[in-house]
Amino acid sequence: MSGSAPRLTARGVAKSFGATPVLHAVSLELAVGSVHAMLGENGAGKSTLLKILAGVERPDAGSLELDGAAYAPSGPLDARARGVAIVHQELSLCAHLGVAENIVLGSEPRRFGWLSRREANLRAERALALLSDGGTTLPLDARVGALSAAEQQLVEIARALAHDDCRLLILDEPTSSLGHADVERLFATLSALRERGLTILYVSHFLDEIRRIADRYTVLRDGREVASGAVRDTTNEALVTAMAGEAVEVGTARARSPGEVVLSLHEVRGARLPKAASLELRRGEVLGIAGLMGSGRTELLRAVFGLDRVRSGRVRVRGLVGEATPRARLAQGVGLLSEDRAREGLALGLSVAKNLTLSRLKPLLRRGFLSQRAEHDAAAFWIARLGIRARGPDQRVRELSGGNQQKIAVARLLYHDVDVLLLDEPTRGIDVRSRAELHELIGELCAEGKAVLIVSSHFDELIALCDRVAVMHKGVLGPARSVSGLDERALLQEAAGA
Amino acid sequence: MKELLRRSWVGPLAALVAVYALFSVLAPATFPGGVNLTTMLRQTAVVAVSSLGMTFVILLGGIDLSIGSAVALTSVVVARVLQSGAGVVAAVTLGVLATVVTGWLNGVLAARGKITPFIVTLGSMSVLRGVAKGLAGEQKIDADPHGLEHLMTAGAGAALPAGVWLTLALAVAAAIVLHFTVFGRHVLAIGSNENTARLCGIPVERVVVAVYALCGALTGVAGVLEFSTLTVGDPTDSIGLELEAIAAVVIGGGSLAGGQGSVAGTLLGALLMTVIKTGCTHVGLPNWVQEILTGVIIVVAVGIDRLRRR
Ligand SMILES: Nc1ncnc2c1ncn2[C@@H]1O[C@H](COP(=O)(O)OP(=O)(O)OP(=O)(O)O)[C@@H](O)[C@H]1O
Ligand SMILES: [Mg+2]
């Protein structure tokens, strides 16, 4: 490490958005052929720093050096040309274009001035192969908008890998929507890239991932670098303390007594997926659905909530076969957290308060008119309750960090006060401390008699959180079993169909 | 202060003041003063009322190209009914009702038929123009306005005509609906992200249909004002009015992508265009210069707005 010149050096990088300082003179050194982890709580400034390195944002102060030469990218394309590629936290694909077209976007191969589809396909195939080693492959001409969040994430990563001249690869929470197998393949690829001398800057809220893949780490807190060093010289506890600025207690009390059935599914079949799903969800219980990407777990939640059509089978809420539209479901006390906060979960252009209260405006009415005051009070309450980092209820959701956006989406369901929570990847992008707090909150909700049906790619999370777990495989939901006696490995094998 | 600068109507207001001051300097004898101001307000009324409807449609992420034809249709219907001797109330009611129905149809085709609003209203623009011409026998219809003409004639001195007051009242009502009612919030949500709106249980189709019908109603009122200005039913009137309405909304900070726009901004946008037209006339600039200027102002206003949002 020492001896060879660093790949990238950042000195005193500072950035403010309006009057809000986000980064205060951050310095960073990335070695050649290493994986460097960037850690920090939601809103600490990680994505902002990464965007500066990738030419997406301009720093207010400070200087950058890439392989010893001054580096001040004028934009993402310029950064690309210098060998810096980034995978953003939020998907940035063109939904109407195909997989291959997205992967070569911005550097389309040309022959005599015309687009070369063959060359594009070849390049895309090569990049995807790095991530799939002959396993599941995506059709190159599939429209990206029709893919699941995890599949889109793979396309996004492949796009960054499609460059042979890449020197620094920046990954901002690449695994937040990936399943176990995809994470494994990504890690194998990253290790191979590191061997080839690439430098990788990696953001994740999963400390186990950091421990496995990263050589060095830097912890940001409130836009300041508060700790750094070699990963093997530190403990997870020390990292969490550095991120939070104080010791964090992670309690996992779980003594619940489920009540009567509130949601029951009988042989539910959707338009394409799921193929057959039956389950009973009781008051005061957390039921998990484990499944691989494409197994139909998201489709099941959407069908139950009335966003997708139910082709056959029966959904009963508190014993009644009610109307199956999102509006009716909400009235019946059933709410859904979307897996895709940017495209579906949130209206990014609207304020925090408007997003939070959107599904339930009635309590805000005073003499028939919406009260700004009531709206603010409701928003302020949930901002405080979930520790959301926002300037205030009027800030646009677009301006929040990814994890804080996720918290807004969760807060809407809590504000709505639904009885049955259908949660699709609820902790996506949420930091370690907040994840523990959210788990605790879910426990409290259950104690109040609410019921939670949860889908997560992270099976260890399901085991930690759920009373029972059912495995979904190729659209068919297995029986729900008590988590005591289940372990992650067994779930993974079942989800894979073994 | 900073918060104030973030408001979308601040830009158009500044532009309006600047342009007004400019023409006051260039044509000090005729341009400034109450009488000309009243005239300009009167001339803005029709565009302003129809752009109120357009504001809702654009906030929703839609578009209505049939507004000009709808105004002509209303003026013809009003004239025809007056001609038949059925009285003012019946004439106005039927005139407005006609465009409510056509607006509602636009909404139904867009929301339930899943046809892009641009295409739907491009079609209805032509259909309504045809219907207006057919109904009028392809000529202007002279009818005794039975007092309707007073709606747009100024009183003594610089007193504002009733039509201008009506415009202001409608604008206030529109702003209240937009900001303080559940319906307005739903419109904003659908325009910002339709998927989110659906997820939150907003009856998207119903709101879309209602917005196009509302736009139809406001267009109908604009049509009545147009009739009282012309005192004839003219099937070839108001060609291109929809584009002026769109321009007013966009100058006022509206975004054709939906979710952005304000009633105050739209009014200022409509007024800005009138001031430029009138000012050019007072200064003696020919028509073609006015048109170039108006076009430049639209693009510049929107350009500045985008920069400000960064
Ligand atoms: N365009 C913007 N305008 C105003 N504030 C912004 C903008 N972008 C980011 N911020 C603020 O900067 C801070 C840091 O955001 P950033 O996205 O870098 O956090 P992060 O560390 O990546 O968090 P997360 O783990 O949630 O992704 C946040 O408080 C956010 O609200
Ligand atoms: Mg981030």
In the structure encoding, which two tokens stand for residue A186, read together? 């990504």
Question: What residue in A sits closest to B184 (Cα-Cα)?
Answer: A370
CA distance A346 to chain B (A): 6
* Strands A451-455 vs A334-337: parallel, antiparallel or unpaired: unpaired
Cβ atoms B39, B161 nearer than 8 A: no
In A, which residues are within 8 Å of B199 by CB distance?
Answer: 307, 326, 336, 338, 344-345, 359
Residue A134 has pLDDT above 60, yes or no: no
Q: Calculate how close chain B gets to A370, using CA atoms only, in Å.
A: 5
CA–CA distance from A99 to each of A91, A120, A126, A273 (Å)? Answer: 13, 10, 13, 22
Instruction: Name the pLDDT band for A496 (thresholds 50, 70, 90).
Output: confident
A57: nearest Cα among A163, A214, A172: A172
Contacts of range A193-196, beta carbons closer than 8 Å, 24 or more positions apart: A193/A161, A193/A169, A194/A33, A194/A34, A194/A35, A195/A33, A196/A33
**CA proximity to B185, closest of A375, A388, A336, A334:** A375
Report CA dihedral (A350, B66, B123, B302) to the nearest 10 degrees. -50
Q: Which pTM value belongs to this model?
A: 0.93
Can you name the residues that pair with A421 across neighbouring β-strands? Answer: A335, A452
Atom of ligand 1 nearest to the CA of A403: 26
- Residue A380's pLDDT is 97
Share of chain A above pLDDT 90, in %: 72
**Mind giving me the DSSP string for B15-78?**
HHHHHHHHHHHHSTTTSSSHHHHHHHHHHHHHHHHHHHHHHHHHHTT---TTHHHHHHHHHHHH
**The pairing of beta strand A277-282 with beta strand A261-270:** antiparallel
Q: Which two tokens stand for residue A61?
A: 């102060």
Confidence of residue B9 (pLDDT cuts 50, 70, 90): confident
Distance between CA B65 and CA B53 in Å, rounded?
12
Q: Residues 281..320 of A with a Cβ closer than 8 Å to B: which?
A: 307
Cα A404 to Cα A41: distance, rounded to the nearest angstrom:
10
d(C-alpha A215, C-alpha A1), whole Å? 10
Cα–chain center distance at B193? 25
Q: Do B202 and A350 touch (CB under 8 A)?
A: no
Least confident of A414-423, B233-242, B280-289: B280-289
**pLDDT recorded at residue B158:** 66
Instruction: State both tokens at B162.
Output: 């009733």
- Closest by CA to A158, choosing from A97, A103, A79, is A103
Whether the Cβ atoms of residue A167 and residue A114 lie closer than 8 Å to each other: no
Whether B5 has its CB under 8 Å from any CB of chain A: the answer is no
The single residue listed with the structure tokens 């809000």 is: A20
User: Which whole number is the average pLDDT over A435-441?
Assistant: 92
Name the residue facing B198 among A18, A326, A370 (closest C-beta). Answer: A326
Q: Which residue of B has its CA nearest to A399?
A: B310
pLDDT digits (tens, 9 = 90+) for A209-226: 999 999 999 999 999 999
Question: Is a pLDDT exceeding 80 seen at residue A250?
Answer: no
* Range B24-40 average pLDDT: 91
Nearest CA to ligand 1 atom 22: A47
Average pLDDT over residues A180-205: 90
Please give all residues whose CB falls under 5 A of ion ligand 2, grouped by chain where several chains appear: A 47, 89, 401-402
pLDDT bin (cut points 50, 70, 90) of residue A148 is: confident
Q: Which residues pair with A286 in a beta bridge?
A: A452
Helices and strands of chain A, counted as H and E runs: 16, 24
Q: Does A341 touch chain B (CB under 8 A)?
A: no
CB B8 within 8 A of CB B262: yes
Q: Could you tell me which chain B residue has the CA closest to the CA of A307?
A: B199
Domains and CATH numbers, chain A: 8-244 (3.40.50.300), 261-496 (3.40.50.300)
Residue A253: the pLDDT is 57
Backbone angles phi, psi at A419, to 5 degrees: -90, -35
Say which residue, B7 or A56, is predicted with more confidence: A56
Kindly tell me if the per-residue pLDDT of A333 is higher than 60: yes
- The owner of tokens 């909400």 is A330
Output the pLDDT for position A251: 62
Model pLDDT, residue B124: 98
| Cβ neighbours of A287 (radius 10 Å) | 21
Taking CB atoms and an 8 Å cutoff, what residues of chain A touch B195? 338, 343-344
- Which ligand has the nearest atom to the CA of A405? 1
Distance, CA of A122 to CA of B72 (rounded, Å): 58
Residue list, ligand 1 pocket, CB within 6 Å:
A 17, 20, 22, 40, 42-48, 89, 389, 399-404, 429, 431
Chain B touched by A129 (CB under 8 Å): no
Give the lowest-confidence range in A433-437, B132-136, B241-245.
A433-437
Q: Residue B106 in contact with residue B117, Cβ under 8 Å?
A: yes
Which of A201, A399, A408, A433 is the best mutation target for the ligand 1 pocket, counting ligand atoms within 8 Å of the beta carbon and taking the most? A399
Rg (Cα) of chain B, in Å, rounded?
19
Question: Has residue A4 got a pLDDT over 80?
Answer: no
Q: Kindly determine whether residue A350 and residue B199, on different chains, have CB atoms separated by under 8 Å.
A: no
Q: Cα Rg for chain A, rounded, in angstroms?
A: 23
Q: What is the β-pairing status of strands A420-424 and A334-337?
A: parallel
Name residue A391's amino acid. R
The answer to whether residue B62 scores a pLDDT higher than 80 is: yes
Please give the mean pLDDT across all residues of chain A. Answer: 91
- A1 pLDDT above the threshold of 60: no
pLDDT digits (tens, 9 = 90+) for B281-295: 999 999 898 889 888
- What share of chain A has pLDDT > 70, as a percent? 97
Most A CBs within 10 Å, among B200, B204, B256, to test the A interface: B200
- A347 and B202: CB-CB below 8 Å? no
Which 8-state DSSP code applies to residue A5? P
- The token pair that represents A56 in the structure block: 């997406």
> B163-204, pLDDT tens digit by residue?
999 999 999 999 999 999 999 999 999 999 999 999 999 999
Q: What is the pLDDT of residues B254-266, one digit of tens each?
A: 999 999 999 999 9
Distances (CA, A) of A141 to A125, A193, A271: 11, 27, 22
Find, among A306, A308, A315, A305, the residue nearest to A277 by Cα. Answer: A315
Q: What confidence score (pLDDT) does residue A2 get?
A: 47
Query: A-chain residues within 8 Å CB-CB of B2?
Result: 18-19
ipTM: 0.92
pLDDT (0 to 100) of residue B3: 60
* pLDDT digits 0-9 by tens, A386-416: 999 999 999 999 999 999 999 999 999 999 9
Q: Which residue of A has its CA nearest to B203?
A: A327
Task: Say whether pLDDT at A280 is over 70.
Answer: yes
Assess whether pLDDT exceeds 60 at residue A175: yes
CB of A77 within 8 A of CB of A52? no
**Mean pLDDT computed over A119-129:** 85
Contact criterion met (CB < 8 Å) for A327 and B202: yes
- pLDDT band with cut points at 50, 70 and 90 for residue B303: confident
3 state SS of B111: helix
Looking up tokens 């190209």, which residue turns up?
B65
Contact A334, A422 (CB under 8 A): yes
CB-CB contact of A273 with A293 (8 Å): no
What is the pLDDT at residue B298? 82
Residue of B nearest to A394 (CA): B3
Q: What is the mean pLDDT of residues B37-47?
A: 94
Q: A344 and B260: CB-CB below 8 Å?
A: no
Which of B2, B184, B196 is opposite residue A344, by nearest beta carbon?
B196
Atom of ligand 1 lying closest to residue A89 CA: 27
pLDDT at A135 over 60: no
Kindly state the percentage of chain B with pLDDT values over 70: 96
Q: Do B181 and A368 touch (CB under 8 A)?
A: yes
